[in-house]
Structure 1
């Protein structure tokens, strides 16, 4: 009976997705065009370049962010950065880009200086110095901003998981931001957001843990950054 119900639900979802896709196609000509250079970033600017991935950190103040501001209320378990480092390493393992070994990245993160600037400028200089220490062209800066674990089980959660993280790619030569990916999601039910039907189906109707949700975000971020 459960399999039959799930099959019916998938059929309904497919119909909804089909209808929404049709709407997108009819209005595609009105969509905003991609910014010049976005598509060429990974194909040209990253050609024969070297990358270093800084360790995940939990920002303490707004100055620890490349852009934006921290939520007024947030909480991240101390173990999360280590778990996220392992997940990001796994996602980048099959990349066609050249990455500096993780051991060197950690060594450079411990020894890099913040410089004489204050606030965000000092933080940006620190990340730039990590790249210089590693002899890289680009440094990938991962931050975990907020983390709320699921309450309940995969088949029945009383509170959904929520994750807020970012991946920022910095040009070591200039110290400027090349691209930023921001993932801030709280899992929702199908009834709460019908537009997330594809995610609902791909997750088999399960309530994800915070780590599973974060892993989805990392995979999406790696893809969008062209890594």
Structure 2
């Protein structure tokens, strides 16, 4: 299958001037109540403190702050563990200030949800986690779907597929400042010529779910200003 993919490389180089895209489902459209649309650049967060919660698997739509869970989804129990390790590694070089992961996890276990119902209760819960940790912002990571590649990096019958979201919560206002939604299934070059740049950067390889997720995490943290 690798030889077939490389045969399209010449076509890919011609298409490099096209906009690079990735095949993904539509990002959530339903909006939860949010705070003011504040800037999320690294400069905007100087002298601020963050708590990064462990990855969790949402059980119901109310666990999300926007959108809805897909009808069919699969998330192995080990996926959040691997994602936490990757997230910790990516944040190691950040210039932002973070409370210890143990403190964030402890507050996540003890914080109350509040008196509201549904997504308002979920939002209030994250605000309470931030108050418990004594931070300005809370980063909430949720893994929604996780499908491992079937095959190898040189040939795959079912490519990897990853769906996760990162929320950034303002503890003072209790508002959702920003969210990053990553939902991608790797495609072959022949299936999507607009992915030519990704195809070349990945050396024509079929990524594992973890490799795909790592790409998404790096992009998401950059968009959130972390």
TM-score w.r.t. length of structure 2: 0.86
CA distance in 1, matches of 2:194, 2:86: 27
**In structure 2, how many angstroms separate the alpha carbons of the residues matched to 1:172 and 1:108?**
13
Of the two, which has the highest radius of gyration?
1
Over the residues paired in the alignment, what is the CA RMSD in angstroms? 2.0
- Output the CA distance in 2 between the equivalents of 1:130 and 1:73: 30
In structure 1, what is the Cα distance between the partners aligned to 2:221 and 2:208? 20
Deviation at 1:94, TM superposition (A): 0.3
Are 2:49 and 1:14 equivalent residues in the alignment? no
Q: Residue 66 of structure 1 corresponds to which residue in structure 2?
A: 65
Higher helix proportion (structure 1 or 2): 1
Does the CA-based 8 Å contact 2:113-2:125 persist in structure 1? yes
- Using structure 1 for the length normalisation, give the TM-score: 0.86
Structure 2 spans left out of the alignment, 5+ residues = 20-35
1:132 aligned residue: 131
The offset of 1:103, in angstroms, is 1.1
Q: Which residue of 2 aligns with 1:90?
A: 89
Structure 1 unmatched runs, 5+: 22-35
Equivalent residue number for residue 119 of structure 1: 118
Q: Deviations over 1:99-134 (max 9, x none)?
A: 111111111111111111111111111111111111
State the Cα distance separating 1:67 from its structure 2 match. 0.6
Equivalents in 2 of 1:200, 1:151: separation in Å?
18
- State the alpha-carbon separation in 1 of the partners of residues 216 and 131 from structure 2: 28
Q: Higher RCO, 1 or 2 (CA under 8 Å, sep at least 6)?
A: 2
Whether 2:188 is the aligned partner of 1:184: answer no
Structure 1 position 11, deviation (Å): 5.2
Residues in 2 aligned to 1:96 and 1:187: alpha-carbon distance in whole angstroms? 31
Cα offset for 1:13?
2.7
2:87 and 2:134 map into 1 onto residues whose CA distance is: 21
Match of 1:142 in 2: 141
Contact 2:8 2:190 in 1 (8 A): no
